[in-house]
Structure 1
Amino acid sequence: MGTRLLHSPQRVIHTPIYYGWLMVLIGGLGVFFSAPGQTYSNSIFIDYYIRDFGWSRSLVSGIYSGATLIAGFLLMFIGRMVDRFGPRIMMTIVGALLALACFWNSFVFTPVMLFVGFLTVRLLGQGSMTLLPNTLVPQWFIRKRGRALSLMMIGGFAGATLAPIFNAWMIDHWGWPTAWRIWGILLLVVFVPLAAIFVRNRPEDVGLVPDQTGSNSQPDPSAALNETNWTLREAMQTHAFWLILLCVSFPALVNTGLTFHLTSIMEEQGLGVSTAALVLSLMAGIGFPMTFVGGIAVDRYPVNRVLAFVFLLQLSFLVLILNVHSVTTAVLFAVVWGACNGLGQIVLNAIWPQYFGRRHLGSIKGIVMAVTVVGSALGPLPYGMTYDWFGGYTEVILATMTCPIIGTAAAWASKAPEKDVI
């Protein structure tokens, strides 16, 4: 039944340009509207919760980590639902539910309500609204997959750049509850209708093939025919699957821990909230052009080698953050951090369909996103506990440096698997 739902014949679409580029646009909007569940957006609200309700930083960090952890495990089921029902239905439903989650967060006043709020926005926002576009776009491209993903990620970096500033502005003018409600309204008015009306699951469903140059051009199905598809069970039997999965967890852990406590880290080093906002925005701004570099790189070079380079950049910005004591050094840190994230997001999204094919990508990416979210859940709490115990973050940052060291070795060893075809 699931296969029929996903691959049911639809009317052939004729457009002046390849319809897949519209999927890239809507996918980019989806990643943008994952913002309410992303740490770069939630981090702006944290200090207001602590101030208004008298909660400790460790309590809020623990609630956030616990909710994120549970959301991560639930994402495995979301991935299977994507394979069953297709991105179109799932993007429409998830977008509407995320809007409701934003409205819920505007009314929180107890730790339990905060936990439910964090759980829903992390599951539906950070998890599902990132999973769905990264499952949809690779269905439409094979040879140009890296470039398509890099264009899609414009939405992600636009969200990372604008959401912290937008949140701070809304909170300053109307308060944090209204800020949450505005996000909910935008989701219902902008994203949900576009997903419901225009998204199509696969090019084959509408008489097209991946990478087609235009609707009226002669289809070239050779790339799709030569593609090797792995089921989730088959993929899990390869060494590459587990090595890449390990690599996936490290950026999530490191970035979430740093982003969640960035304001506090900057204040500890003699800088303020404005510097933290500058770092987040600049990091996203630098990451944006680096996605194009990443898209070209994964289309031309072995993707695992590019991933190993990403981890060397991660080690570099962890060294830099320990030496941020001025706006100048903060800017340098933001530049390296942004370059790392820009490359990393493209590589970690391109490697799965490149290694394991498109047919079961939803189930595979569901596991990947689950590990991503669980990795992000493990980030904030150690940072918060280290601050409460030692009055700073130096110890936890030094410990975090083991992640890129292990990641470099794992990436280098994760060569593309070969499937025996009988």
Structure 2
Amino acid sequence: MIKEQYNHVPFNPAKSPVFYGWFVVLWGTLGIIMSVPGQTMGVSTFTDHLIDALRFDRNELSTAYLMGTIASSFLLTRAGKLYDKIGARWLGTMVTIALGFVLIYLSQVDRISFSFAEALGLDTIQFYVSFIFVTLGFFMLRFTGQGVLTMLSRNMMMKWFNRKRGFANGISSVFVSMGFAISPLVFDFLIESYSWRWAWILLALVAGFGFSVVALIFFRDNPEDCGLEQDGDSHEQVEEQERVLHRAEKQYTLKEAQRSLPFWVMVVALSMQALYITGFTFNLVSIFESANMDKTVALAVFVPTSAISVFISLAGGWLSDHIKMKYLLLVFLFGQIVSLVSLSFLSPGLPYAFMIIGNGIVGGLFSVLSTVVWPRFYGRKHLGAISGFAMSSLVFFSAMGPLLFSFSFTELGSYAWAAYACLAIVGVNFIAAFKADNPQEKLAR
């Protein structure tokens, strides 16, 4: 297989003085951070500039974002299956190069669309031409950044660990939380210093073309392909660990996983969080302005949230190696409920503080659930297809967030209505989560 070739070029991971899985955690963490330009919190800092450049209103841009994101979601299951075939190294190299070109395209999307319409005499339908071009840009951005790069980076890390999977994910989550928290401020600094166009171009050079070199040289897919075992164990230790509950007894296919209740409870939980957080961050400044808080407060909200997320992710990562995942899922869903209720009554004071606490809990556990659950519940053999489907659902629902929140505000007069709708679904899922046990436990009895 392609992913098993050239693992010793330009160096042999088996000869590393430290178990190479820990380096994989480093590169995978950086991969997730490099996906930020494709995440909604990365796009949100460019939203108002795109609205002005394209002469759109907020609902029109939200609709383009929705359509582009939904379109990308339909390809992620296929991307997951491709990951199973060629591995993180080769897919990571290709997708980061593509991400670089996408960011450059978006930096010029208004000029491209206006020039295209002028050249073909389509000035009378300029809006539709611009809508198509920016939707195409959002489609490519969400597919490469939020979708494929995030998925393969997480999967790569989790394949290198079993007993220490939660601990490794906890370490990664700390730096991912910090990276995501400061990214809106960094992007805003780049925009204010160099313009929104050059900000995207600079990100293309770093997160796209630059990181593709890192992926090509350092990414590796399975420890076994490099002559190593999960957690850096010896073959004897692996045989001993076969009796440990965390080692998957059965390698589920995607269709088999879809027939289990825990799969759908997890998918719905993660998807609803994606819907909420994209709707929240895409309309971030407007949400806070409607609550009589300014842009500085809005952009800074991720910093205290990140501080809580760091602690929760470390604790959650460690606990995931020792307790049932459904308990962490219940805490995650409780955090969602706190966030949504706080958003419904957002104002300076307690609602603002509780929203930070709720977002911190959810942000800290999101990576644990979206990363650790799939290999532990369903095995590693079809991890790309299973996580690809989950990511597809996550991206699909994330597409609904910006328009749902925008519509709630412009048509119903408040963002609270969007929060109420989310709260109803999360509440039902919270009840279902009590039955979301690891299907491997039945096989181990």
What TM bracket, shorter-length normalisation? over 0.9
Deviation at 1:10, TM superposition (A): 4.4
Deviation at 1:255, TM superposition (A): 1.3
Matched, 1:227 2:248: yes
Aligned partner (choices 422, 428, 434) of residue 412 of structure 1: 434
**1:123-162: CA deviation from partner (whole Å, max 9, x where unpaired):** 1101111101111011100000011112222342233112
Deviation at 1:402, TM superposition (A): 1.1
Hey, what's the Cα distance between the residues in 2 that align with 1:10 and 1:274? 47
Amino acid at match of 1:87: A
Aligned to 1:130: 150
Aligned to 2:176: 156
Hey, what's the Cα distance between the residues in 2 that align with 1:77 and 1:31? 20
Equivalent pair of 1:31/1:156 in contact (CA under 8 Å) = yes
Amino acid at match of 1:180: W
Amino acid at match of 2:272: F
**1:279-332: CA deviation from partner (whole Å, max 9, x where unpaired):** 133323321232111101211111012101110111012112233322675344
Equivalent pair of 2:174/2:309 in contact (CA under 8 Å) = no
With normalisation by structure 2, the TM-score equals 0.88
Q: SS of the counterpart of 1:141?
A: coil
Aligned to 1:6: 3
Hey, what's the Cα distance between the residues in 2 that align with 1:41 and 1:395? 25
Aligned to 1:32: 33
Equivalent pair of 1:279/1:330 in contact (CA under 8 Å) = no
Aligned partner (choices 350, 353, 361) of residue 375 of structure 2: 353
Q: 1:206-225 maps to which residues of 2 (within 5 A)?
A: 206-212=226-232, 220-222=237-239, 223=241
Residues 31/155 of structure 1: CA separation in 2 closer, same or farther (3 Å cut): farther
Residues 246/339 of structure 1: CA separation in 2 closer, same or farther (3 Å cut): closer
- Aligned-CA RMSD value: 2.0
Q: 1:125-274 maps to which residues of 2 (within 5 A)?
A: 125-188=145-208, 190-212=210-232, 220-222=237-239, 223=241, 227-228=248-249, 229-274=251-296
Matched, 1:320 2:342: yes
With normalisation by structure 1, the TM-score equals 0.93
Hey, what's the Cα distance between the residues in 2 that align with 1:390 and 1:238? 38
Matched, 1:394 2:416: yes
Amino acid at match of 1:263: V
Deviation at 1:247, TM superposition (A): 2.2
Aligned to 1:97: 98
Deviation at 1:393, TM superposition (A): 1.3
Deviation at 1:52, TM superposition (A): 3.3
Give the stretch that moved more between structures: 102-111 or 337-346: 337-346
Aligned to 2:385: 363
Hey, what's the Cα distance between the residues in 1 that align with 2:290 and 2:443? 55
Q: SS of the counterpart of 2:437?
A: coil
Aligned to 1:307: 329
Q: SS of the counterpart of 1:401?
A: helix
Aligned to 1:336: 358
Unmatched 5+ stretches in structure 2: 111-129
Aligned to 1:285: 307
Hey, what's the Cα distance between the residues in 2 that align with 1:131 and 1:348? 9
Deviation at 1:17, TM superposition (A): 1.0
Amino acid at match of 1:114: V
Amino acid at match of 2:205: I
Hey, what's the Cα distance between the residues in 2 that align with 1:404 and 1:227? 29
Equivalent pair of 1:127/1:373 in contact (CA under 8 Å) = yes
Give the stretch that moved more between structures: 396-405 or 149-158: 149-158
Residues 199/182 of structure 1: CA separation in 2 closer, same or farther (3 Å cut): same
Percent of pairs with identical residues: 29
Q: 1:66-105 maps to which residues of 2 (within 5 A)?
A: 66-105=67-106
Aligned partner (choices 385, 404, 407) of residue 407 of structure 2: 385
Aligned to 2:116: none
Give the stretch that moved more between structures: 277-286 or 321-330: 321-330
Give the stretch that moved more between structures: 218-227 or 137-146: 218-227
Equivalent pair of 2:285/2:295 in contact (CA under 8 Å) = yes
Q: SS of the counterpart of 2:321?
A: helix
Hey, what's the Cα distance between the residues in 2 that align with 1:107 and 1:5? 36
Q: SS of the counterpart of 2:268?
A: helix
Equivalent pair of 1:298/1:347 in contact (CA under 8 Å) = no
Hey, what's the Cα distance between the residues in 2 that align with 1:384 and 1:102? 25
Hey, what's the Cα distance between the residues in 2 that align with 1:5 and 1:221? 26
Unmatched 5+ stretches in structure 1: none
Aligned to 1:373: 395
Equivalent pair of 1:35/1:41 in contact (CA under 8 Å) = yes
Number of equivalences: 415
Equivalent pair of 1:303/1:351 in contact (CA under 8 Å) = yes
Hey, what's the Cα distance between the residues in 2 that align with 1:97 and 1:224? 40
